[in-house]
């Protein structure tokens, strides 16, 4: 019997438990479809989930498509999960999974403690890393704490589709991805050919360029006071006071700078009466671009327009 083969037969010890999909929402549907087969307990979702006319809801559409019953937990105005609220809900014994969104690529809580809490109540954890394709640049990345994580390739790379999930405990190894949920070959090639680490480093540097402009100019409040050393935020979120968000948005658009507002509209299942803080964020948030495709020569103009727009509208 051969003990040492001339070539490796398997590199399973070196492969990641990554399953490619067409998008983060397709990744989520793949996970939830498996979970709904087990029993009819619910999924606990954060009460800050958006809806857009064009894209629907990247988070809630798969929950609905999987036919999974759900409940919500509260967050602070700065999107920090309310741990007490999560524990109160878990104590009811109605939940089999907790969904944690790392909004804009930043984790706002002690993740390990929260994951341990969920596991203590026999609930799986799904981390939503749609806003941070690598989960950060450090050794223990977002997406590696929970049982599953979902990621979006097209939100961070210039592709038309693409996402993946990490099946951290190998629970979905035997489950094929539905034909409609598969990633396109073109996006997979772009993923393989892109230096995602360097692009992420540039995105992080850009975050700090906008941060120092905002710190100097004032008028709006950064959503994050600090970010962890290895986090890669998707963009630079700010809270715009005094109902001036729309005015600032359109002033920037006029100047050729395109912000977004994630999420200006929440799904109707999240009620304003029950979750007033979520609505306060939804009514004031504006996300400034920091993507790695901003050319060096455009930075002075961008920051100058940003400063003028804030001074004129706030």
Ligand X SMILES: Cc1ncc(COP(=O)(O)O)c(C=O)c1O
What residue ranges bind ligand X (CB under 6 A)? 23-25, 55, 58-59, 101, 128, 130-131, 152, 154-155, 163
Q: Nearest approach, Cβ of 152 to ligand X (angstroms)?
A: 3
Picking from 161, 225, 229, 227, the residue whose alpha carbon sits closest to that of residue 191 is 161
Q: Nearest approach, Cβ of 52 to ligand X (angstroms)?
A: 8
Residue 136 has, within 13 A of its CA and on its CB side, a CA count of 19
196/38 Cα distance (integer angstroms): 36
Q: Nearest approach, Cβ of 154 to ligand X (angstroms)?
A: 6
Q: Nearest approach, Cβ of 196 to ligand X (angstroms)?
A: 15
128/194 Cα distance (integer angstroms): 22
Q: Nearest approach, Cβ of 296 to ligand X (angstroms)?
A: 28
Alpha helix positions (H), the chain: 24-38, 60-65, 83-91, 111-120, 185-193, 196-217, 245-254, 276-284, 299-313
Q: What would the DSSP string read from start to end of 215-284? A: HHH-SSEES-S---TT---SSEEEE--TT-HHHHHHHHHHTT---B-TTSSB-TTS-TTT-HHHHHHHHH
Nearer CB in complex with ligand X: 27/310: 27
For residue 280, give both structure tokens. 């306060």
Q: Nearest approach, Cβ of 255 to ligand X (angstroms)?
A: 26
For residue 91, give both structure tokens. 């104590």
| 108, 225 Cβ separation under 8 angstroms | no
Q: Nearest approach, Cβ of 127 to ligand X (angstroms)?
A: 10
Closest residue to ligand X, Cβ-based? Answer: 58
What are the Cα distances from residue 192, in Å, to 23, 153, 157, 164? 16, 11, 11, 13
Nearer CB in complex with ligand X: 106/309: 106
| 164, 19 Cβ separation under 8 angstroms | yes
Nearer CB in complex with ligand X: 65/230: 65
Nearer CB in complex with ligand X: 29/213: 29
Nearer CB in complex with ligand X: 24/75: 24
Nearer CB in complex with ligand X: 59/252: 59
Nearer CB in complex with ligand X: 131/245: 131
């Amino acid at each position: 019997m051969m003990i040492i083969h001339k070539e490796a037969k398997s590199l399973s010890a070196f492969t990641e438990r990554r399953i490619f999909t067409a998008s983060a929402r397709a990744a989520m549907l793949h996970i939830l479809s498996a979970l709904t087969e087990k029993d009819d307990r619910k999924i606990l979702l954060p009460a800050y989930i958006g809806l857009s006319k064009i894209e629907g809801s990247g988070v809630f559409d798969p929950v609905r498509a999987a036919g999974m019953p759900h409940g919500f937990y509260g967050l602070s105005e700065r999107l920090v999960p309310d741990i007490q609220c999560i524990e109160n809900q878990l104590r009811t014994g109605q939940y089999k999974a907790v969904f944690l969104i790392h909004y804009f690529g930043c984790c706002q809580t002690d993740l390990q403690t929260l994951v341990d809490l969920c596991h203590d109540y026999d609930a799986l954890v799904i981390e939503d890393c749609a806003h941070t394709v690598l989960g950060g640049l450090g050794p223990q990345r977002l997406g590696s704490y929970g049982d599953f994580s979902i990621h979006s390739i097209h939100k961070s790379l210039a592709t038309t589709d693409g996402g993946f999930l990490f099946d951290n405990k190998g629970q979905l190894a035997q489950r094929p991805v539905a034909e409609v949920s598969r990633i396109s070959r073109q996006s997979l090639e772009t993923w393989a050919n892109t230096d995602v680490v360097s692009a992420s480093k540039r995105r992080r540097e850009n975050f700090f360029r906008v941060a120092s402009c905002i710190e100097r100019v004032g008028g709006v409040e950064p959503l994050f006071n600090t970010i962890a050393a290895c986090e890669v935020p998707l963009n630079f979120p700010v809270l715009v006071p005094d109902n001036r968000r729309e005015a600032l948005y359109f002033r920037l658009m006029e100047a050729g700078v395109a912000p977004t507002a994630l999420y200006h509209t929440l799904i109707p299942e999240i009620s304003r009466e029950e979750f007033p803080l979520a609505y306060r964020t939804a009514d004031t948030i504006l996300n400034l671009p920091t993507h790695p495709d901003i050319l060096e020569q455009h930075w002075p103009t961008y920051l100058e327009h940003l400063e003028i727009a804030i001074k004129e509208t706030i």
